[in-house]
Amino acid sequence: MNFEQFQNQSRLYVIGALEPEEVEEFEKARQKFGKKAEDFIAKCYALHEAFALSLRPAKSSDAIKERLMAMVKAKKET
Amino acid sequence: MAAPAKLKIWRVVRSENRWTNSAAQIKTLNCISGIDLFLTLDFRSHMARSKLSSSTGGSRKKRARVAKPRARPLTTAPTLEPGAPTDFELMKGIQAGDADALSQLYDRYNGILKALILRVIHNEAEADDLLQEIFMEIWNQAKNFSPQKGKPLGWMVTLARRRAIDGLRKKQAYARAEERLQNETEQQPDAWVHNATEDEIMLSDTRVLIRKVISSLPPAQQQAIDLAFFRGMSQREIAAKTNTPLGTVKTRLELGLKKIYDGLKDLRDEL
């Protein structure tokens, strides 16, 4: 796999669209390209974030946060 | 001279109408697949504030055309009050067991994460439950977060998306979700435009530009990306669902993602 192919695979990887057999090959290439590969994958995650940020933020009820913080408090106490 | 606020609003809304009314290709996609990802891209709070701050003179004409008052680089974290902790600092706090840090992170991102969950499962009550579980997981798994591997938001989005897709699969609710999605799309494909506040409209400038990038893709590429990202489908599943050869699905995903990636890069440069 050359680096251009790796870049194409990286974009699929960050959205979880690689097939299992492709993941194996991807991981090998990832090791081969080292830091360059990690830097590119990190950039691809910005794309990932963009999809999420493209959605209109949704409101959640205050009770959710209250429950969450109560659970966190209980967990800390145990 | 800056246009009055009302005029700016009119411009943006008009611009939106033009997009939705003239983009027959997108409407076709909507009818064919029931997918509304690219019709309902809403770049508000965080996104909207993204982008323009890095711009310097030289692009005044472009800015006037789409009325974008403030923004930062695409996909950056929301605007922080002076002295407010960064996402990284909050994550560090959570790793150290600081519940207040989690509380602040929740306030900052619950809207985005819930929108993402809702986009996958289309059920308000379940989305709320899942949101709570996800933030609990953020609390429990914070030790696994490493700044070297990316930003906290990326980590949280990955986690939330995985949980939402898992939840969807467990319930085997694809059919119901799809039906709801279709109804939702038919009922209010552009509701946000008509109900948007002024702030939202200003923030939507970035959204308009992003839509331009995304809508430039052939419908089949948009569909493939939507099914992969928001439904968590593998290439084989997409191939089966769309009755398309596997190789074609792979090509559509690769080309589509590359175009969006490059388009966002160009957008950053432009702004």
If one counts the domains in chain A, the total is: 1
Widest distance between CA atoms in chain A: 52
pLDDT of residue B247: 94
Contact B235, B253 (CB under 8 A): yes
Range of the domain at A53: 3-77
pLDDT of residue A16: 85
Q: Report CB contact under 8 Å: A55, B112.
A: yes
pLDDT of residue B208: 62
- Mind listing the pLDDT tens digit for each residue in B222-252? 899 889 988 888 899 999 999 999 999 999 9
pLDDT of residue A72: 93
Distance set, CA A34 to CA A37, B186, B198 (Å): 5, 47, 46
Q: Report CB contact under 8 Å: B264, A51.
A: no
Residue B35 one-letter amino acid: I
pLDDT of residue B179 exceeding 80, the answer is no
In this prediction, residue B207 has a pLDDT band, given cuts at 50, 70 and 90, of: low
Q: Report CB contact under 8 Å: A55, B106.
A: no
Q: What is the spatial distance between Cα B213 and Cα B1, in angstroms, rounded to a whole number? A: 28
Tell me which chain B residues have a C-beta less than 8 angstroms from the C-beta of A8. 254, 258
Name every residue whose Cβ is closer than 8 Å to that of residue A46 and which is 6 or more positions away in sequence: B74, B75, B154, B264
pLDDT of residue B255: 94
The three-point CA angle B258-B154-B196 to 5° equals: 85
pLDDT of residue B117: 92
The distance from CA A77 to its chain's CA centroid, rounded to whole angstroms, is 31
The highest-confidence range among A54-58, B31-35, B46-50, B231-235, by mean pLDDT, is B231-235
- For B238-244, the CB contacts below 8 A with 24+ separation are B244/B220
- Mind listing the pLDDT tens digit for each residue in B119-130? 888 888 889 999
Note the ipTM here.
0.83
Tell me which chain B residues have a C-beta less than 8 angstroms from the C-beta of A11. 253-254, 257-258, 261
Question: CB of A57 within 8 Å of any CB in chain B?
Answer: yes
Contact B162, B119 (CB under 8 A): no
Average model confidence (pLDDT) across chain B: 68
Tell me which chain B residues have a C-beta less than 8 angstroms from the C-beta of A10. none
Distance set, CA B225 to CA B35, B56, B64, B175, B236 (Å): 11, 33, 32, 19, 13
pLDDT of residue B150: 79
**Residues B185-201, mean pLDDT to the nearest whole number:** 40
Tell me which chain B residues have a C-beta less than 8 angstroms from the C-beta of A49. 75, 151, 153-154, 157
pLDDT of residue B168: 83
Q: What percent of chain B has pLDDT over 90?
A: 30
Question: CB of A12 within 8 Å of any CB in chain B?
Answer: yes
For the entire predicted model, the pTM comes to 0.66
Give the count of Cβ contacts less than 8 A between chain A and B: 148
pLDDT of residue B180: 65
Q: Report CB contact under 8 Å: A8, B97.
A: no
Closest Cβ opposite residue B257 in set A11, A55, A69: A11
Q: What is the spatial distance between Cα B206 and Cα B214, in angstroms, rounded to a whole number? A: 12
pLDDT of residue B260: 86
Q: What percent of chain B has pLDDT over 70?
A: 54
